[in-house]
Every structure is written in structure tokens, then in C-alpha cells.
Amino acid sequence: MSEFTVFGVPQSTYVWTTRMALDEKGVPYELKPMAPGAGGASVSHPFGKIPIVRHGDFTLYETVAITRYIDRTFVGPRLQPADTRALAIMDQWISAISDYAYQPMIRELVFPRLVYPAMGRPTDEGVIAAALPKIRTQLSLFEAALKPGPYLAGDAVTLADLFLAPILYWVEMTPEGRLLLAEFPAVGRWRTAMGKRASYAKNVPPMPQKAA
């Protein structure tokens, strides 16, 4: 049995980010399927989210804390720049991605377009229509950052790239997202590079399944 366990579902962008960090560092782990809010007393997230991780007798939640812990604890390529300004830029992007991009991209586009239909729930087209301009604005910021490239915080892959790549994967799975992404060539080049990383490719999740 692996000493490191990730609790969550593979479709979650934050679970994917966590798995990418582990794979970038070459850390063996076990993914234990767990829906948000499940887990009971033994692996509970006080805010009902995933992922939660366990490393030996140490349990942790919140993906920023988890991925920083992974980077600091295990040998392997650094996922956080040593340079303080590059590190600050990485932190800026992680915060912006989680606080501003996740909501419109995942909750207001991907959920109503892909997840709710699979669950038999109705899709509010107004929510999607209102999200698209917000997503375009955010993509234009990523485009400007990635033009000098090659990565969000400079020359090397950092945790910021690991937060964004899974989100944009799901955006591209929607027809509207695919059209929007086509407007941003630097984002496209970066996505191609990220898509070639083993840590990304081996964790591409299955599509949400229609309930039987």
C-alpha cells in the first residue's frame, strides 16, 4: 500500500492538480474515490470539498497547502521558484485561478454544460451566456502572461501551471469553451506543452457519466 493517499474523484480539477504535483515529483500514491462531503469522520473536509490527502498519519486539505507540502517534502524537480519575484507571480496566479477563473469556467460553464445533463439536472443557458465574457477576459490575461512564456511564472513549470491546466481541459470539453480557447494562441501553445507532460496525460479523467 502507498504511504500517500488522495481522496477525491478524478474529474475534480483540484484532485487532478494534486495528482500532477505527486507525479511531477515521482511520488507513488493511491487515489481513493470519494465524492465531496463524503468520507465520514475518518477523512472529513470541514467545507465538504475534495481533495483531502493522507501521508502516513498526516491528513491535509486545501490544494495550495497540499501541493506546497508535496513540493517541499519530496525530492524531484522543484515546483516553486527559488526567486522571490517568480514565486510571488506563481502565488498571484494560483490565487487568481482559484478565486476568479474556477467559478465561471467550472461552475458556470462546465457544470451546466457537461455535469448537470449527466445528472439529469436542467441547464440554465443564461448562466452560461453570462459566464462567457468573464472567461474571455480571463483567457486574455493568461494569453498576455503566456506570450513571453513558456510558463505562467517564467521558464519552468510551477504549481500555477498545475492549477490552470485541468481547468482549461474541462473548458475545452464544452463547445463554447473550445471556440473561446481558439482565440488565444499563446494559451494554446502552453496547453500543448502541458498536454505532453506525463503528469497531465496520465491523469486525464473520464467524462461525467449519465446516471443509470
Number of residues that bind ligand GSH (CB under 6 A): 10
CB of 138 to ligand GSH, least distance (A): 17
Q: Which is nearer to ligand GSH, 95 or 140 (CB)?
A: 95
- By CB under 6 A, tell whether 174 contacts ligand GSH: no
Q: Which of 5, 24, 63, 168 binds ligand GSH (CB under 6 A)?
A: 63
CB of 94 to ligand GSH, least distance (A): 9
Q: Which is nearer to ligand GSH, 62 or 176 (CB)?
A: 62
Angle among Cα 180, 93, 169 to the nearest 5 degrees reads 40
**C-beta separation of 30 from 6 below 8 A:** yes
Angle among Cα 27, 29, 34 to the nearest 5 degrees reads 145
Strands 4-8 and 58-61: unpaired
Q: Which of 6, 7, 14, 180 binds ligand GSH (CB under 6 A)?
A: 14
Q: Which is nearer to ligand GSH, 80 or 143 (CB)?
A: 80
**C-beta separation of 109 from 128 below 8 A:** yes
Residues 6+ apart with CB under 8 A from 32: 5, 6, 7
Which residue matches cell numbers 490527502?
53
Binding mask 15-54 for ligand GSH (x = CB under 6 A): ---------------------x-----------xxx----
* Residue 176: CB atoms within 10 Å: 15
Residues in the site for ligand GSH, rule: CB under 6 A? Answer: 12-14, 36, 48-50, 62-64
